[in-house]
Amino acid sequence: MLKIYTAYTTELDDVDGALAEIIARIDLNGLAKNSVGLISCYSEFIDTGIIAALSEKLPFDIIGATTMASSSGRGPHPLGSVEAPDSAGNYGMYSLGLTVLTSDDTCFQTAISAPLTPGGYEESLSTAYHDALGKLPGDPSLIFAFLPLVSDFSTSGVVESLNVLCKGVPIFGTVSGDVTLTQENCYTLRNGQGEKRAAALLLIHGAVNPRFIVSSLPDKNIGRQKAVVTESEGCLVKKVNGVTLLEYLKDMGIVPRISSGIGTVKEPFMVDYGNGSKRVALRAHNILENGDALFSGPMPQGVTFSIGQVDRDGIIGTAQEALHKILEDGDAQGAVIFTCMSRYIMLTPNKDDEMKTIQEYLGGKIPYAHSYSGGEICPVYGEDGKTYNHLHGYSFVACVF
């Protein structure tokens, strides 16, 4: 049986005070034989030494990533006694959230890779994966992946490489983020160590049986017109309906924003991979002058897509849809949630509204941890019932235990 504890602190300057807040919210005496911690935080928690001190204090590994903003909450009886007054949780930009998974019959093993580079990330990822795998009694049943925010190669390629390594085992995770919207303060974390270009991995061995939920755009926000990718190489789209993506977008009345010769668009692309699974929301990162476009995920020849629109009603509506699904079976023991940082930005000036919605649905009901993401990693279910790992954009994704 897997138990979940969540804790948080907003204390940035006082190391002892921050540790006291975290420890007070976790029943260290109630931990099972095996435990691991998942962490999301504002980047200054690294600078002030709180992450390192927390790692030294806790009797188990911790891994995670920095984030733009986060929220967390505990269940109705987090310490097995009366309901805690703050069980509904906390949300905001300047916080640190810790989720503890603990079990007698499930094993956890963490690893962090060497810095990932355009020509060598496969080897670095493989070394870290096999390092963790070699310390488990068998193959993993679930993997958590915390990946770096990079601009010189596709994060989707890292997800695909990990998918090959683990032979399709479900992968859930996030890409690091920060309030500054730059790579400078984006870190992945393991045991007090912060890295800008490393992948932090958690391999879980045991019958944890998670449910996965993905909610991106409401149907009303997805255009009816479909296009077909007619020429591509991996994530690079060369032709759509026989013309360049740039030409196709102009015909649709969408004009990319140009900076240093590179075009971008804010609209999400809802991609149908033809396996009966939900459509996957992707973004076009770079649209080149020759019309070629680099997407955030694979765009093989023959897949179809429609162009969507992100707005406040859609963000809150899809969050509510996903939160209802988390609770609908009545057996949820806890949830880890990642949502796209674009959703947070596009809710301006009421940026906390999605976090408030999560708290309203889950606060005091189940332990949950939520953070904003530079890319949401979550499986989708195909018609065959199998899971297919994908990197998403603009989405609300949840792993429910």
pLDDT in tens, 190-246: 999 899 999 999 999 999 999 999 999 999 999 999 999 999 999 999 999 999 998
Q: Is the pLDDT confidence value at 261 over 70?
A: no
| Residue 153: φ, ψ to 5° | -160, 170
Task: Provide the pairing of β-strand 376-381 with 171-175.
Answer: antiparallel
Which residues lie across from 280 on neighbouring strands?
271
Amino acid 245: pLDDT: 93
Mutual angle of helices 50-57 and 15-24, in 10-degree steps? 50
Whole-number Å distance between alpha carbons of 43 and 9? 13
Which strands make up the sheet holding 193-195, listed edge to edge? 2-9, 96-103, 34-41, 62-66, 188-190, 193-195
Which residues lie across from 352 on neighbouring strands?
none
pLDDT tens by residue, 5-42: 999 999 999 999 999 999 998 888 889 999 999 999 99
pLDDT tens by residue, 85-135: 555 678 999 999 999 999 999 999 999 999 999 989 999 999 999 999 999
Q: Average pLDDT, stretch 155-176?
A: 96
**Contact residues for 296 (Cβ-Cβ < 8 A; gap 6+):** 154, 155, 156, 235, 282, 283, 284, 285, 375, 391, 393
Q: Collapsing DSSP states into helix, strand and coil, what is residue 276?
A: coil
Whole-number Å distance between alpha carbons of 221 and 219? 5
